[in-house]
Amino acid sequence: MVGLICLEGLGPSYPESFMRKLAREWAYGPAEYVDNEDGLNIDRKASWAMYHTLKYFESYPDLNGLIVAGYSQGGAAAIKYAHELKKYGWRLDLLALFDAVSRDPYGGNGVWFDPLIPDNVKATVHAMRNPATLSRPAWGNCGRSAPNDYWSKYFWVTHGGASGCDYLAYPSGPPNPDKIVWETLMGGRGWGKEHYTLVTEGQDWRGAGELWQWMYPTIKTFGQHLNLSGESPWVEDAPKGNSTPKPANGGNGKPPTTGGNTYQVVKGDSLSLISGRFYGDVLLWPVIWDRNKAVVGNNPNLIYPGQRLTIPSISAYNQSQLSSIRQRGRNC
C-alpha cells in the first residue's frame, strides 16, 4: 500500500487537472487531493499534506511508501512538506513536481525563493516549462536539484498548460490551435499587463500531453514497486552522506496528542505545522496563537526562528469547542 498526496497550485479552483486525475486514478493505496478553494498559501498546503500524512499513519500501519505530487506553488508546498517529514525522521519515496514555482504572496511575503529539496527525499522527478517559451519569465522554478536521485525535463508548454486543465478539457485538441497563448504578467516590470508567450494553444496542448506521458508512468512505476517492496516510509533509512535524522517529540516519530510543552521555532515553521506536529491536526493552530500572542503578535502567519512558544494542552476542550477552533483555522 502506497499513500499519495496531490497539491494543487495557488489560484482558482480547477475543475480538472493533472493533480485531480492523479489522485482519482491512484490504485495503490490512499490518495488525497488538496484543492485551492480556501486560497491556501504554501505553508497551509504543506500543513494539509502533513495532516493527511498523520491520518495515513494512524489508519494504514502497513503503508509501504509515500509519494507527494505538486503543481506550481503546490510543488513548493510539497518541498516544504518534505522538510517537515524530515523533522519526524520520515522519508519521502518520491517527490513529483509539475513546473514547481515558489512565489508566495502570503506566507512568503511576496518574494520568490528557492526551497531546497531535503535529503530524506529518495527520488525527485520534475517536469518544467522551457524558459524559452517566455511563460511566467519572472518566476523561474524551485526544486531544480536534489541530493539523491533526480530527473528533470523541459517541455514546450506554458506554466498554465503544465496544470493539465486545457489538455484534459479538450481531448481532441484546443479549439484555436494556432492562437498564441497570452498571460497576465505577475512579477517584475509590467505587473498586471497582458504578455504574449512563444507558445500556440496547439503547442501548449501537445506539450502538456508529452509532460503527462513522461510524468505519469514514472509515478505509477514507483507506486507499483513500493506496493510490492514491503518497505515502510516511517523509518528513515539514512540519506546519502548524512546520518539518520532524529524523530521529533520523544524519539518515536509520533506527535503528542495533548501539548503542554514549550517549543522553539525553527526555520520553515508555521503555526499550522506546529499544530500538526503536537496535536495531529493542522487546523488547531489558533490554540497556539491565542496562548502566544504576546510573542507572535497580531499576524499568525509571521513567526520567526528562535521564538519560544507554549504549546497548551487541548485535553480540556470538548468536540464542539474543537470544531469551532478548526473553523477559525480554516477562515484565518
DSSP string, 58-76: HH-TT--EEEEEEETHHHH
Q: What is the pLDDT of residue 231?
A: 61
Q: Which amino acid is at 124?
A: T
**What does the CA dihedral 9, 12, 14, 19 come to, rounded to 10 degrees?**
10
pLDDT at 269 exceeding the cut of 70: yes
Q: What is the pLDDT of residue 183?
A: 86
DSSP states along 6-44: EEPPSSSPPSS-HHHHHHHT--SS-EEEE--TT---HHH
Residue 248 DSSP SS3: coil
Distance CA 28, CA 285 (A): 32
Q: What is the pLDDT of residue 250?
A: 33
Distance CA 138, CA 135 (A): 9
Using one digit for the tens of pLDDT, what is the confidence trace for 150-199? 999 999 999 999 999 989 989 888 889 999 999 876 554 545 567 889 99
Q: What is the pLDDT of residue 267?
A: 73
Distance CA 253, CA 248 (A): 6
Distance CA 113, CA 139 (A): 9
Give the pLDDT mean for 289-314. Answer: 89
Task: Show the domains of the chain with their CATH numbers.
Answer: 2-229 (3.40.50), 261-331 (3.10.350.10)
Average pLDDT value over all residues in the chain:
81
> What's the pTM?
0.73
The model's confidence at residue 331, banded by pLDDT at 50, 70 and 90, is low
Supply the Cα-derived Rg of the chain in whole angstroms.
20
Using one digit for the tens of pLDDT, what is the confidence trace for 220-238? 988 888 887 766 554 444 3
DSSP 27: -
Give the pLDDT mean for 267-287. Answer: 80
Q: What is the pLDDT of residue 195?
A: 80
Strand partners, 27: none
The 10 Å Cβ neighbour count of residue 220 is 15
The model's confidence at residue 215, banded by pLDDT at 50, 70 and 90, is very high
Q: What is the pLDDT of residue 196?
A: 87
